């Protein structure tokens, strides 16, 4: 039986989010996608119940201090449980970033997906693979394409990578690389140190916005992919699959 999955939506106050990051000493210009900042905020707000994967719509692109940031997440916990956790245990600066009453609007996702159902999808992904180190899957493909008459394009490599992430859960009917950019990110390592004493490091990784159409091939596996997310860095704003109906 599939576990229950909920979609949560919150509107974040950007000034209060940065104030929280400043208080935690994780406000860095090289946290360009706000992934680490929001990761830290979610941990403070929800503790072990923090939703993952999640998506912050257009971080760093449509930044207006007087306009809320739109945040979506998938959670195994309903809105009432998340609200109780936040209002009981979150620090005031973390709680002030959003209106916890909006958690009451969390919706339950379908518990069963019919084989053969066609859906539109969109996912903001970080298409990297890890061997000894993490590396853009396109650059890995380029390393092995030396001498090829027609090496694969970035869109082709990312489409193949996306298909591998889904496994047998779906058939990809179409995929489009809607957007691509290199993003400066922050993760724990060195040389800088955050307020908790954990080392931070700077990274530059690919950010790919992929959308298309799919057909569900295995309903249980599809539900599991939604709950888990696509690719790596899912706790930092990547891998949440947004769905749309097809006529």
The span from the CA of 198 to the CA of 187, in Å, is 10
Q: Tell me 97's DSSP state.
A: T
Average pLDDT over the chain reads 91
User: First CA to last CA across the chain, in angstroms?
Assistant: 29
Confidence of residue 1 (pLDDT cuts 50, 70, 90): very low
Confidence of residue 19 (pLDDT cuts 50, 70, 90): very high
The span from the CA of 64 to the CA of 225, in Å, is 33
Residue-wise pLDDT tens digits, 88-103:
999 999 999 999 999 9
What's the pLDDT score for residue 149? Answer: 75
List of E strands, 49-169: 54-56, 69-75, 107-108, 118-125, 128-130, 134-136
- The maximal CA–CA distance of the chain, rounded, in angstroms, is 61
What's the pLDDT score for residue 156? Answer: 96
pTM of the entire predicted model:
0.90
Name the burial class of residue 63, with classes exposed (0-12), middle (13-18) and buried (19+) by CB atoms within 10 angstroms of its CB: exposed
Confidence of residue 201 (pLDDT cuts 50, 70, 90): confident
Q: Which two tokens stand for residue 11?
A: 């509107």
Residue in 181, 166, 186 with CA at minimum distance from that of residue 241? 166
Residue-wise pLDDT tens digits, 144-199:
877 677 889 999 999 999 999 999 999 999 999 999 999 999 887 644 555 555 67
**Least confident range of 45-49, 197-201, 235-239:** 197-201
The span from the CA of 243 to the CA of 76, in Å, is 18
Residue in 75, 31, 72 with CA at minimum distance from that of residue 50? 75
Residue-wise pLDDT tens digits, 50-72:
999 999 997 655 556 678 899 99
Q: Does 44 score more than 80 pLDDT?
A: yes
What's the pLDDT score for residue 167? Answer: 96
The span from the CA of 102 to the CA of 89, in Å, is 17
């Amino acid at each position: 039986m599939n576990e229950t999955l909920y979609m949560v939506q919150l509107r974040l106050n950007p000034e209060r989010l940065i104030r929280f990051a400043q208080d935690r000493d994780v406000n860095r210009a090289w946290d360009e996608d706000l992934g680490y900042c929001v990761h830290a905020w979610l941990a403070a707000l929800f503790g072990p119940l923090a939703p993952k994967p999640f998506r912050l719509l257009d971080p760093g692109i449509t930044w207006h201090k007087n306009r809320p940031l739109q945040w979506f997440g998938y959670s195994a916990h309903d809105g009432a449980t998340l609200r109780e956790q936040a209002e009981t245990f979150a620090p005031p600066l973390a709680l002030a970033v959003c209106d916890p009453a909006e958690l009451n609007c969390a919706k339950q996702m379908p518990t069963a997906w019919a084989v053969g159902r066609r859906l539109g999808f969109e996912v903001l992904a970080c298409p990297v693979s890890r061997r000894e180190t993490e590396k853009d899957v396109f650059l890995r493909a380029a390393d092995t394409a030396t001498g090829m008459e027609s090496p694969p394009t970035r869109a082709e490599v990312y489409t193949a990578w996306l298909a591998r992430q889904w496994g047998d859960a779906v058939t990809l009917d179409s995929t489009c690389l809607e957007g691509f950019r290199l993003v400066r990110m922050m993760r724990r390592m060195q040389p800088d140190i955050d307020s908790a004493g954990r080392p931070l490091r700077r990274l530059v990784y690919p950010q790919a916005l992929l959308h298309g159409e799919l057909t569900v091939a295995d309903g249980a596996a599809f539900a599991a992919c939604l709950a888990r997310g696509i690719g790596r860095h899912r706790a930092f704003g990547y891998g949440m699959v947004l769905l749309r109906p097809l006529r």
